[in-house]
């Protein structure tokens, strides 16, 4: 046994790239490093076992393909905006839910920009958070919903501010006690 340049025990072969054996065993017979797309399932590398959906995970009551909770899960919008999707409860598959929820939350962001433009305001911040959870029946991680937070700054109308000051008496009288 020989020691290669990084100090690991090897087979006597020296290699300019000490990680070549690791990559070739992990990525198969590829001659060069793979990019992200080549590692996606269906390209022969890191492919997901299709029968995983039929395997019941330890501590769970059913396999993902048989899970009644996932089959009956519905999504519904809880906001007061009437022009967004999912106003009535609808089922989305576990695999389609991330894209559908992101698209729905983007509708809220677009509405915030439209509302700001109509009122002469400016969107200071718009953020979307996607929430995930784990199904108690089958153990599958799924998108549980999303939340959009926006901050809009509106211009102050001077006449309205003065009228409010007159109505409340602000700035008219100064009371002090000695």
Q: Write out pLDDT tens, residues 122-172.
A: 999 999 999 999 989 988 899 999 999 999 998 887 777 677 666 665 555
Q: Using alpha carbons, select from 118, 131, 117, 125 the residue that is nearest to residue 149.
A: 125
Same domain for 14 and 63: no
Same domain for 127 and 89: yes
- pLDDT digits over 43-89, tens only? 554 444 455 677 777 777 888 888 899 999 999 998 888 888 888 99
How many separate domains does the chain show?
2
Same domain for 153 and 110: yes
Residue 173 lies in a domain: no
Residue 172 lies in a domain: no
Q: How far apart are CA 104 and CA 145, in angstroms?
A: 10
Same domain for 116 and 55: yes
Cα 138 → chain centroid: 21
Which domain covers residue 31, as residue numbers?
2-39
Same domain for 142 and 75: yes
Same domain for 78 and 149: yes
DSSP state of 25: H
Q: Using alpha carbons, select from 153, 143, 140, 129 the residue that is nearest to residue 60.
A: 140
The two structure tokens encoding residue 96: 């389609």
């Amino acid at each position: 046994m020989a020691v290669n340049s990084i100090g690991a025990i090897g087979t006597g072969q020296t290699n300019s790239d000490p990680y070549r054996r690791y990559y070739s065993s992990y990525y198969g017979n590829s001659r060069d490093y793979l990019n992200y797309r080549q590692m996606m399932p269906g390209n022969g590398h890191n492919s997901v076992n299709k029968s995983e959906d039929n395997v019941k995970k330890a501590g769970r009551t059913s396999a993902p393909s048989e899970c009644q909770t996932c089959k009956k899960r519905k999504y519904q919008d809880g906001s007061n905006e009437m022009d967004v999707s999912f106003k009535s409860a609808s089922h989305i598959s576990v695999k389609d839910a991330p894209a559908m929820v992101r698209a729905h939350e983007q509708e809220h962001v677009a509405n915030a920009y439209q509302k700001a433009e109509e009122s002469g305001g400016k969107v200071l911040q718009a953020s979307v958070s996607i929430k995930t959870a784990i199904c108690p029946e089958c153990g599958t991680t799924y998108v549980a919903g999303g939340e959009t937070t926006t901050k809009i700054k509106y211009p102050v109308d001077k006449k309205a501010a003065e009228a409010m000051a007159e109505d409340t008496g602000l700035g008219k009288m100064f009371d002090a006690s000695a």
